Amino acid sequence: MITFNTTTKTFHLSNKQISYIMQLDENKHLVHLYFAKKIHITDDDNNQLLFGHLDYQYFKGDRLVNSYKAKEYGSYGTGDFREPAFVIRQENGSKISDFSYVSHEVYQGKKSIEPLPALYVEEEQEAETLAITLHDSLTDTDLILYYTIYRDYPVIARRVEFIHQGKEPIHIERVMSMQLDLADSDYEFIHFSGAWGREKQIVSSKLRWGNQSIASTKGVSSAEHNPSFILKRPDTTEDAGEAYGFAFVYSGNFLCEADVSTFNQCRVNVGIHPVNFSWKLCAGEQFVSPEAIVMYSDTGLTPMSHNFHRLFTHRLCRSQYRNTDRPILLNNWEATEMTFDEEKIMSIAQKAKEAGAELFVLDDGWFGTRNDETQGLGDWFANTTKLPSGISGLSEKVAELGIGFGLWFEPEMVNKNSQLYKSHPDYLLQTENRHGHSFRYQYVLDFSRDDVVNYIYQQMKAIISTAKINYIKWDMNRYLTEVYNVTLPPDEQGKVFHKYMLGVYSLYQRLTQEFPDILFESCSSGGARFDAGLLYYAPQTWASDNTDANDRVAIQYANSFFYPICSHGAHVSAVPNQQTTRTTDIQTRANIAYFGAFGYELDLNELSKEEFEVVQQQIAFYKENRTVFQYGTYYRLVSPFENNVGSFMTVAPDGSKAFAVYYQRLYKPNTEFINLKLKGLEAETKYQVSLLGVDKTYYGDYLMNAGISFNSSHIARNGGDFTALLVEVTRIEL
Ligand code: DGJ
């Protein structure tokens, strides 16, 4: 898959779908030539690409050859005035560097960079990796650029390493995991932005001259911007056209930018945000960047999403749950918040069992003196006033019901009103002589310190190993402020944000290795850390604290561009909805939540007899069809961001079954018809379509090309506003 032409000095990474080509120029600098659909090149083609196209303006003599040349990893200060891939500061203050080619190595497979998350291989032949070593002689530093190409995915995974040998230290002040210089800028930039409770709203804008970016400096990837984005051609649709999808495999500060020159070239950078980042390297030390991924499609956005879903499920997620049935859970948070006792919890768990749920999750409020938000965080031992038999006793009792038991933690946090704070006030991220800001009365533990991470590990381990725990919800409910490590010298404070993330990942690594049977769900006030990085350790993520069916249609639709459906935690909650006060029908709530890792977030004792029976039916239905929802092939049909209607569907891995949801926001009388055209069916096969109690038979090509007609009157008879209908499509076996 990887070749090096010693005559033209050209690297060509290719599989059946893509080609990624770069070349050494006359100064042994690495020049980017091409990344898109698979092509063949001759020796002449290389020269054509290099001199006729990308370096079209000034290519000889002492002109500014460097300015517009497409780079693999552009440096600062030597004539390329676009956003650089990296900046290194020397002790004398100079930020100029000159890295040129020394050697390269190609190997089968892909090496782990744990605790940093990254794509992996199961068999060496699945992928090849190219490691190109560049060297800056003045500072005596190596820079290694890593490229992995997979045999079966149109994807390139990239990361870099700096290895320093020079006597004087250097300071890396900016390090992108990937730079990609595209030859033109005729793209739309699609990203997923929002806030708490309205995560992942789709934003799309045409690229223009200048810099367009999304970023986080909050210490987590954030609800405001997700570290994933798409560049697509203006005419690219779900089913046709070119697009690049970028995902940063990281959960902390990030920068994703498209820097468009006035010659219409587009430079893409993906990496750790440079604000408050500075990494000092002494002789013999090395810095390993997180990984960034770029996927190419020339067949539209849906195939790109399918590839991301497959790749993330099978080659990013490490858990044994990566492709096994996810349990139907019931979480007590919205039912009780922190006000409960063992009797109450057992009554909720008992009813969950009666409904058919498979796992009960005890959320916040079970530990220390955690009776409200002001106290207890950091004290990971049971509050025996509320729970006299402790977590081990409670977990036994839940196990006796015949269902699993899950527990909530917020490992990175502490309240000042806690035993942890009283005994270790120095464990916080805090700046000497400065006020420390709390949020929700909580402070952030300094996870950049091994001793702090180890302390929390011991506490968690003590609980986990003495109770029957099948699931852990790892929450994280605030952004980072006063980021300063009291144990590090002044010139290493720029390491703290990244070391914090390494601490989080290393705790995940230890816990998941030691307790491989536990299913982890990550959470950060809902979806503020729903990213590729955490999928490595936690196969599912709580998508949002907003469980309103109307808003979840949009959030789940947007999540589907990158993240597999089985990774979206999606629950039916009580009405009126806690966040929006909106009331939707219980079947509508389930019809949306089915498209995810399904569960409930309410006290089923409070439902009417009729509603409880509906819940029992829903759970039985989901058990029967779980594989279709969690591991089916997912299609976006109608965008809820652009319409009064939202629709998506999933087709079983064996093609025998499909479900589509048709959601209407507001009822309007006597509206026009909408033909819902299904996708992913077999054209010449007959299917039975069940909708609103009526069964009809159609060919697959009819359903995909003519579609099913809806208008408001269908919905009016079934609830009017905020109503989701489920269409069941069953292959008729001959
Ligand atoms: C925020 C989470 O998103 C909720 O689901 C819940 O776990 C609360 N935190 C508990 O404090």
| 306-363 tens-digit pLDDT | 999 999 999 999 999 998 999 999 999 999 999 999 999 999 999 999 999 999 999 9
**How is residue 251 written in tokens?**
């959960």
Q: Which atom number of ligand 1 is nearest to the Cα of residue 331?
A: 5
**Cα gap 620→360, rounded to integer Å:** 17
How many other β-carbons are positioned within 10 Å of the β-carbon of residue 323?
17
> Of residues 69 and 449, which shows the higher confidence score?
449
Residue whose CA lies nearest to ligand 1 atom number 2: 525
Backbone angles phi, psi at 458, to 5 degrees: -60, -40
Of all protein residues, the one whose alpha carbon is nearest to atom 6 of ligand 1 is 333
Residue 47's pLDDT band, with cuts at 50, 70 and 90, is low
Ligand 1 atom with the smallest distance to the CA of 363 is 7
Query: Nearest residue CA, atom 10 of ligand 1?
Result: 364
Tens of pLDDT, residue by residue over 571-623, are 999 999 999 999 999 999 999 999 999 999 999 999 999 999 999 999 999 99
Look at the chain and count its residues.
Answer: 734
475 labelled catalytic: yes
User: What token pair was written down for 492?
Assistant: 């290493």
The stretch 659-672 carries a mean pLDDT of 89
What HEC string does 386-429 produce? Answer: CCCCHHHHHHHHHHHHCCEEEEEECCCEEECECHHHHHCHHHEC
- Distance of alpha carbon 136 from alpha carbon 98, whole angstroms: 5
CA distance 215 to 722: 33
Q: How confident is the model at residue 53 (pLDDT cuts 50, 70, 90)?
A: very low
**Residue bearing tokens 């948070």:** 333
Residue 176 vs residues 36, 130, 179, 181, 243: alpha-carbon distances, Å: 21, 18, 7, 13, 21
646 CA distance to ligand 1 middle (Å): 27
Written as one string, the DSSP assignment of 480-547 is: --S---TTS-GGGGGGHHHHHHHHHHHHHHHHHHH-TTPEEEE-BTTBTT-SHHHHTT-SEEE--S--
431 pLDDT above the threshold of 60: yes
Task: State the Cα–Cα distance between residues 397 and 400, nearest whole angstrom.
Answer: 5
Q: Is the CB of 364 under 6 A from ligand 1?
A: yes
Distance, CA of 138 to CA of 123 (rounded, Å)? 40
With H, G, I as helix, E, B as strand and everything else as coil, classify residue 509: helix
Q: 337, 362, 477: which to mutate for ligand 1, most atoms within 8 A of CB?
A: 477
CB atoms inside a 10 Å sphere around CB 234: 10
| In the predicted structure, residue 52 carries a pLDDT above the cut 50 | no
| Model confidence pLDDT, tens digit, residues 390-416 | 999 999 999 999 999 999 999 999 999
Please state the φ and ψ torsions of residue 173, each to the nearest 5 degrees: -105, -10
R_g (Cα) of the chain, nearest Å:
27
H/E segment holding residue 472: strand 471-474
Q: Which helix (H) or strand (E) holds 330?
A: strand 329-331
Residue 62 has pLDDT above 90, yes or no: no
- CB 523 near ligand 1, within 6 Å: yes
Residue 364 C-alpha to ligand 1 middle, in angstroms? 7
Q: Is 334 in the pocket of ligand 1 (CB under 6 A)?
A: no
**CA nearest to 453, candidates 530, 511, 517, 519:** 511
Rounded distance from Cα 320 to ligand 1 centre (Å)? 25
pLDDT band for position 65 (50/70/90)? low
Q: How many other β-carbons are positioned within 10 Å of the β-carbon of residue 238?
A: 17
The pLDDT > 70 percentage for the chain reads 96
Q: How far apart are CA 437 and CA 479, in angstroms?
A: 10
- Band of the pLDDT at 667, cuts 50, 70, 90? confident
Q: How far apart are CA 607 and CA 574, in angstroms?
A: 9
Point out which residues pair with 662 in neighbouring strands: 647, 725
Tokens coding 515? 């307790």
Tell me what pLDDT residue 718 has.
65
pLDDT, position 27: 86
Please state whether beta strands 243-249 and 198-206 pair in parallel, antiparallel, or not at all (unpaired): unpaired
* Cα 497–Cα 498–Cα 502 angle in degrees, nearest 5: 120
Band of residue 109 on the pLDDT scale cut at 50, 70, 90: very high
The DSSP result for 681-700, as a single string, is: --TTSEEEEEETTEEEEEEH
DSSP state of 491: G
State both tokens at 725. 């209908």
Are the C-beta atoms of 547 and 515 separated by less than 8 Å? no
Is residue 363 lining ligand 1, measured as CB closer than 6 Å? Answer: yes
Active site residue 341: no
Which has more pLDDT, 62 or 26? 26
Gap between the Cα atoms of 557 and 562, Å rounded? 10
- How far is 309 from 428, CA to CA, in rounded Å? 37
246 φ, ψ (degrees, to nearest 5): -115, 130
Query: Which tokens in the block code for residue 370?
Result: 């955690």
Q: Which band of pLDDT confidence, cut at 50, 70 and 90, is reported for residue 250?
A: very high
Prediction pTM value: 0.96
Distance from the alpha carbon of residue 544 to the mean position of ligand 1, in angstroms: 9
User: Do the beta carbons of residue 252 and residue 221 sit within 8 Å?
Assistant: yes
Query: Is the per-residue pLDDT at 51 higher than 60?
Result: no
Averaged pLDDT, 697-720: 85
The answer to whether residue 715 scores a pLDDT higher than 80 is no
Contacts of 147 (CB under 8 A, 6+ apart): 2, 13, 20, 129, 130, 132, 156, 157, 158
Q: Rounded to an integer, what distance in angstroms lies between the CA atom of residue 156 and that of residue 13?
A: 9
The pLDDT, as a whole number, for residue 716 is: 67
**Could you read off the pLDDT of 146-189 as tens digits, one per residue?**
999 999 999 999 999 999 999 999 999 999 999 999 999 999 99
Residues 731, 655 contacting (CB under 8 angstroms): yes
Q: Tens of pLDDT along 537-577?
A: 999 999 999 999 999 999 999 999 999 999 999 999 999 99
What is the CA(606)–ligand 1 centre distance, in A? 21
**CA 59 to centroid of ligand 1, rounded, Å:** 57
Active-site option among 545, 551, 585, 603:
545
Average pLDDT over residues 265-280: 97
Verify whether ligand 1 is closer than 6 Å to residue 595 (CB atom): no
Q: How would residue 78 be classed by pLDDT, with cut points 50, 70 and 90?
A: confident
